[in-house]
Chains A and B, each alone.
Chain A
Amino acid sequence: MAALLRFALTQRVFVLIAAAVLMFVGWRAWNEIPIDAFPDISPTQVKIVIKAPGMTTTEVEAQITRPIELELLGIPRQEMLRSTTKYAITSITLDFEQGTDIYWARQQVNERLSNVWAQLPSFISGGVAPMSTPLSEMFMFTVDNPSLTLQQRRDLLDWTIRPVLRAVPGVAELNSLGGYVKTFEITPDVSTLMQLGLSQDDLVSAINDAHQNVGLGRMNRGVDTLIVRTQGRFETLDDIKALAVPTPDGRSIRLSEVATVSIGSLTRYGAVTKNGEEAVQGLVIALKGSNTAQVVADVKTRLADLQPSLPEGTTINVFYDRAELIDTAVGTITEALIEAVVLVIVLLALFLGNVRAALTVSLILPLAALSTFILMHTFDLTANLMSLGGLVIAIGMLVDASVVVVENVATHQQRKAPLPFLHVIFRASKEVTAPVVAGTIIVVVVFSPLFTLSGLEGKLFAPVALTIVFAMVSALILSLTVTPVIASWLMAGTEAPMPKYMVWLQQVFLTSVRRVLATPGPAIAVALVALVAGGYLFVVIGKSFMPTMDEGDIIVQFEKSPGINLDASVAIDTQAEKHLLATVPEVLQVVARTGSDELGLDPMGLNETDVFLQLKPRDEWRQGSKAELIDDIRAALAGYTGLNQNFTQPIQMRVSEMLTGTSGDVSIKVFGDDVETLAGLTSDIQRLVTKVQGSSDVQAAMIEGGQYLNIKPKPAVAAQLGVSVRSLADQLIVQLEGREIGQISQGETFIPLRLSASAVQNQPLRLGSIEDVRHWPVLLPNQRVLPLSDVADIALQEGPLLIEREQSRRFAVVTSNVTGRDVVGFVNELQSQIQQQITLPNGYWIDFGGEFENQQRAMGNLLLVVPVALLLIFVILFTTFRSVWLSLLILANIPFALVGGIASLYVSGAYLSVPASVGFIALLGVAVLNGVVMVSFLEQLRLRIADLTERVEQGAVRRLRPVLMTATTAMFGLFPLAFATGPGAEIQQPLAIVVIGGLVTSTLTTLYLLPVFYRLLEKRRG
């Protein structure tokens, strides 16, 4: 280190140039760092989505989910296998260990899926879902144009907008939702077919034979060549109508004579409504690892470029723009950062009483920040709420090393040694090198436990720790290179005496510390009482996983009766939407999604709706807070009985679903085999949960209640008449789901060509009741018809609506949000209630998940790792002081620091959460540093002042300024964060509160108790 110092002071111009280069590179790095609201919190996750039209939940589970799960279970490095099976769809999610390469994971899953695919039903579709994360839903819009029908708007989205946006780098997919997907529909007339002796297959065969272009080869035409082909592909509705279908008597008939040929639409599994009217929505899904801010910006640019080519009157109505959240969250943190820097500079100026010295120290801040950006860029760390928050946390500590150097230079200056100023600086800097390096190492070690966190907390706080480490290491190097160089220019010939107020403060402190040293009993008693009180508060204080970040927007989730159809579901949604718009003026617009999306990434049922509320700017609100607004929205929706409601936010919802497969603060998962038993147990548990104080939005997943109409051919009749299950299915599927038999290309668009009855839904043949199905005419191979009930037994059968599985075991879940109390206390009470009142059958067990699961895991990790960190600190202290007792003396400061942190949490009403725990970790560092500053100086005075009490008094007084500077810069550096109100501040606030409160008590104990105990220790050492 001495060599580094010497080099810096002898090559000052070089150091300055290097600093300038660092600033330039740092600025560039800042502009190039990907910006997002959050770090990528998703685990390495691969999702499989399989669609199986017409299959019941149990069939999908038995024939698709279980075989795939069985195959996937063999993949190495997997952590969790989850699946959700519903009517006609299954979604299987595989979480891999942290650090697993996503491409490797996807390849593994693809290989296993290929192995098992042949065993699955032939008509299924789907596969591995796009490589996205729960945070990938970053940009949502509706395509509005009052003069276009829903089908035209959907066409516009699918075939004009989607291809453009999919080409944007970083966009994984554009999910189209709502409206109607245009199809060409052929609806055979059974009676006409019967008259002509035709079957449905005859039509399909005629269509397939005609609907193709075949390349025939080339022929020579003189010296030229000519490509020859046959042309038969349909292009228009009239082409299809004009198709000649051969009849058994050797003649032919136009298709339009035996079938209705019309424009129709695909069967809808979902819909979108906007402000009470049906709409069409586009949802941009970003690739995992993409630069969200950049992708959003590019998407907006492409949309703007596209706008002139859209039909007149078309507007792209953006209702969710992640860039806004990023801007707001990053803005909040950046603002806090700037304020922290200003506060720290002011504090330095006040304490040092020397503007030049303050300026010398302060210059370290921008340089350290820019160096941190370079390191963040180098290590692919994005600029987000957490990483920038880490920088804010570090601000107060960044100046510590520089302060120590400058303060010592100032002290040496005051001694007026007959040496060139550069020598003075060199000696002063060299003197403090060891404690400065040790202090930095201590801070790095203190934050190392954060690297061991796993799950969501690990993903969130690893960037915090990494940024702090980057910043501290940068600050250390800069304080031993740039700071001395700057000091050599700025502090030359400016020996400033200590400010008068500082002198006065020292006198006051001397008086008080003498009194404490004279009669230490009361001080020790107070400290012990504080410790006991702190212990009590720790027990009673609320504990939760993570404060909820205000994302700006609100999502209300509706769950309606399980058997509801899409039209009825949408009708309820639209009523609620209009009511919300009318009664809650803070709501700018409402966009709701009912049912499943096109890709099946979020396979919601028709009874499920996510109502997205875009809010007006806060200055237009009547309410003072988001919580009050939510209360008003709850009140507005209170009259909407008969449907479950749950409040969440876009990212919160996806993160919950990603981590636990459920949304809600607490999820109670009941594992077992029998669906009916599971349903009964969840119903009982739901009843219990609603009684526990703090429960809200309590929901039990509707796993029962599905009804299926089973059609089973009568064996004797079927055999005699030649009716098979397949032939029945082929005929009936046309009446219900429709059957795709080809595609028609029109320019850039591909329109499905289907056999379907959807185009003639108003005709009497429509199947609207079981009786209709019973009478439905089956066209037999002998060209006669019989009612379906003559050839098949028709019976209603009950079955599960939903089957959820984890690690190949079925479970049902009850979820609840927790309001007005801590999650851990809530779960403890609930666990006790369940133990007392619920009797689980053999083979059934309950797991608590959701936020509680995360909290337990995080606390478990920290309780394991923090003692190890303390041990490491002890080793560093021992290496520095060569004394076990002195090391223990410094560590003894920690409990008093914790007391302050806990008290501040209690006073502020915050809970002991993961961020608060990180605050305690940060507190360890600062508290230990304060102790080091005090004890190291007392040890230095050992040879100068012989009398122990005087040494302690003088040492304490002379260390007052550095200790106060270290503590207050750390405290005031966090003040902006503690009082920030913008979105994004919520997560860091508990951290700031803990550090500020803890520093108050730790500073007091450093200044008063440490000298007392030091004296006691020295007396014992003789």
Chain B
Amino acid sequence: MLNRLLGPLLVGMLLLHPHDVFSQTPTDVPLSALSSYTLTYVPAEAVAVKRLPATVGHITYRPGDAFEVTLPFAIQQFSPETLDGQWVEKGQTLAYLDGREVHHFFDEAASAESLFLLTKRHYERNRKDIADQVIKLPEWLAIAQAYEQAKLAYEHTRHAREWLSETDNGVALVADHSGYVEWLAGASMSTAGQPLLRIIPGQALRLEVAVSASQVPLITAFSLPDKQCVDPLTGIRPAQRDEQYWRTLWVDLASDCSLRPGQTVRVEPIASFSGWRVPGSALMTLDDQQWIAVLNNQTLELIPVDVRATDAQGVLIETTTPLGGRQVLNQSLSVVQGYLMGMGGE
């Protein structure tokens, strides 16, 4: 009986001043007024993050972390065994090299080693002599200088030799560290001393994303939806360069994402969010305000909400009313809307 009275009363009020009614207070709806309809409810799901539309990020590395390979000789023939961006293990052949200076280098290295061993023996022998003051200091200085020069020359060639190996197929350029190969574009093989490649250790990889300046305060992380990386990205740091509308963010990468430097990837910025997820069918608009209807004993309590995003599972909302454990109407909400607008009443 009460419901029968309430309905027309409400309708009358709405017919007189519908906007005033809505803009002042939300109105509860008795369940009995909707008795013919199927009403189903879902619990509001607490949500801590929301995803922004996907954008593009670039995989790069922290400057200085890469090993750069520079060969002290000119190369005439170059047969790469690895691709740009490929992961290589230490000792893996990167390329085969050929050329006069390649072979000369091995001679030079052998010569440097012989010279180093010779000067070393000479140096070792004379160390006692100088201690016993058998030889004069100027003579000792000449011996030591020759030794140090031979040693330095030898070390130079030895380091270069560590990248090189003579095999049946020729001279191999071998990885000295594990990491991603970055063949340096534009490197001149015919000139000695030019950087040829870099080996980028896995830990050095970073994700670089240029985002709108307006979104920077919102973003707390990035997700790589195509890589199935579950929350792999942390540690957002602003990059050095700023542009008028964009800011570049650097993000540490987890190692299990199988990303390669230079790669362009689809990323979803993730923003922190403190709200709830409800189905789209649980949301209605009345008088410029969006509402959900929450079961409260034998009535539907209307709660104003602000919609913040939509995802595949529903709508993300914020409200000042705690929704934990509350049942939200997700079917026949339009009739609640019509009821509040005074429809169906005569």
Contacts and interface: CB of A to CB of B under 8 A. Distances in A.
B36 A643 contact: no
Contact of A642 (B16, B215, B307, B336): B336
Given A641-B335, A642-B344, A787-B214, A777 B53 contact: yes
B335 A560 contact: yes
Contacts of A518: none
Contact of A572 (B53, B334, B340): B334
Interface stretch (B67-75, B135-143, B280-288): B280-288
Interface in A783-809: 784-787, 789-790, 796, 798
Interface string A334-377: 00000000000000000000000000000000000000000000
Contact of A764 (B7, B268, B337): B268
B346 A690 contact: yes
Given A641-B335, A762-B312, A769-B309, A194 B55 contact: yes
Interface of B is mostly: mixed
A568 B310 contact: no
Contacts of A563: 285, 337
A579 B55 CA distance: 49
A603 to B, nearest CB: 20
A189 B266 CA distance: 10
Contact of B344 (A569, A640, A768, A786): A640
A772 interface: yes
Contacts of B187: none
Contact of B307 (A560, A645, A771, A776): A771
B56 A191 contact: yes
A633 to B, nearest CB: 13
B146 interface: no
B333 interface: yes
Nearest to B36: A639
A116 interface: no
Contacts of A560: 334-335, 338, 343
B34 A641 contact: yes
Contacts of A638: 36
B339 interface: yes
Interface in B301-335: 307-312, 315, 331-335
Given A767-B310, A769-B308, A786-B245, A643 B56 contact: no
Contact of A191 (B51, B266, B344): B266
A642 B245 CA distance: 48
A839 to B, nearest CB: 16
B344 A644 contact: yes
A548 interface: no
B33 A786 contact: no
A559 B215 CA distance: 42
Contacts of B41: none
B113 to A, nearest CB: 48
A698 B56 CA distance: 57
B37 interface: yes
A421 B166 CA distance: 147
A269 B343 CA distance: 23
A192 interface: yes
Interface string B21-58: 00000000000011111100000000000011111100
B164 interface: no
A770 B215 contact: no
B68 to A, nearest CB: 27
B214 A769 contact: no
Given A563-B285, A686-B15, A769 B343 contact: no
A573 to B, nearest CB: 11
Interface in A633-657: 637-645
B343 A568 contact: no
B114 interface: no
A561 B337 contact: yes
B264 interface: yes
Interface string B225-248: 000000000000000000001100
A642 B309 contact: no
B171 interface: no
Interface residues of A, number: 60
Nearest to A777: B53
B174 interface: no
A695 interface: yes
Contact of A777 (B55, B337, B341, B346): B55
B203 interface: no
Interface class of chain A by DSSP: mixed
Contacts of A775: 52-53, 215, 309
B344 A643 contact: yes
Contacts of A559: 343
A191 B54 CA distance: 7
A372 to B, nearest CB: 48
- Which among A564, A572, A642, A687 has the highest number of chain B CB atoms within 10 Å? A642
Interface string B194-235: 000000000000000010101100000000000000000000
B87 to A, nearest CB: 22
A707 interface: yes
Contacts of A707: 285, 288
A764 B51 contact: yes
Nearest to B225: A764
A108 to B, nearest CB: 41
A237 to B, nearest CB: 22
B311 A696 contact: no
B213 to A, nearest CB: 8
A225 interface: no
Contact of A790 (B7, B245, B280, B310): B245
B312 A571 contact: no
Contacts of A572: 37, 332, 334-335
Contact of B264 (A190, A195, A790, A796): A195
Contacts of A564: 334, 337
B53 A769 contact: no
Given A764-B51, A785-B55, A786-B245, A683 B15 contact: yes
B179 to A, nearest CB: 25
Contacts of B210: 784
Contact of B315 (A191, A695, A768): A768
A655 to B, nearest CB: 24
B31 to A, nearest CB: 11
A766 interface: yes
Contacts of A683: 15
Nearest to B12: A687
Contacts of A567: 281
A87 to B, nearest CB: 16
A575 interface: yes
Nearest to B308: A771
A472 B246 CA distance: 92
Contacts of A189: 266
Contact of A641 (B215, B245, B315, B344): B344
Interface string A617-640: 000000000000000000001111
Contacts of B312: 762-764, 766
Nearest to B269: A775
A762 B279 CA distance: 13
B310 A561 contact: no
Contacts of A643: 335, 338, 343-344
A769 B306 CA distance: 10
A644 B341 CA distance: 11
A270 B268 CA distance: 35
Nearest to A637: B36
A765 interface: yes
17 contacts: A560-B338, A572-B334, A575-B37, A575-B38, A579-B36, A637-B36, A643-B343, A644-B343, A721-B245, A764-B310, A767-B310, A768-B310, A770-B307, A775-B53, A777-B53, A786-B245, A790-B245
Given A775-B52, A776-B53, 18 more contacts: A191-B55, A195-B56, A637-B36, A641-B34, A641-B338, A641-B339, A642-B34, A642-B341, A687-B15, A687-B16, A762-B312, A763-B312, A764-B310, A764-B311, A771-B309, A775-B309, A777-B55, A789-B214
- A-B CB proximity, top 3 nearest: A639-B36, A768-B310, A642-B338
